[in-house]
Amino acid sequence: MITYGIRQMMAAANAAIDTLTAGEAVALADDGDTVFVDVRETVERQQTGTIAGAIHAPRGFLELIADPEGPMHNDAFVSGKRLVLFCASGGRSALAAKTLKDMGIANVANLAGGFPAWVQAGGPTQG
């Protein structure tokens, strides 16, 4: 029996993190202080493209990529820059942003609506 399900997990994540609209996120695209993090699977990126310049950190490898002691570490996670996470809808990236907060990375946000919202807002893409 599940006593703490996805609804509770999503509510806790959304309460703990900042959420940006696509318009707010697009405005940060060229500020030099923001790193966009795609937490989708590789096949999703191949099918739809991604935000221009985004780093790839699939949710299943997130901790290994974020932690400086992890075997897949990416320095962007300890750069002090704002990290804006996104997925296909905003759900996985909200959970991932909460995970990063729990790891001690404070400057994280979730892109509401995910990559489709970014595209609809006219944000730059690649792939």
Q: Distance (Å, rounded) from C-alpha 94 to C-alpha 26? A: 18
CATH number for the domain whose boundaries are 6-126: 3.40.250.10
- Side-chain-facing half-sphere of 92: CA atoms under 13 Å: 17
Contact status, residue 96 vs residue 62, Cβ threshold 8 Å = yes
Prediction pTM value: 0.97
Q: What is the pLDDT of residues 51-84, one digit of tens each?
A: 999 999 999 999 999 999 999 999 999 999 999 9
Q: What is the pLDDT of residues 14-41, one digit of tens each?
A: 999 999 999 999 999 999 999 999 999 9
CA distances 41 to 16, 87, 93, 102, 112, Å, are 24, 9, 12, 22, 18
**6/54 Cα distance (integer angstroms):** 27
User: Domain boundaries in the chain?
Assistant: 6-126
Please give the sequence-ordered ranges of beta strands (E in DSSP) within the chain, or none if there are none.
18-20, 34-38, 50-51, 55-56, 82-86, 108-111, 125-126
Mean of all residue pLDDT scores within the chain: 98
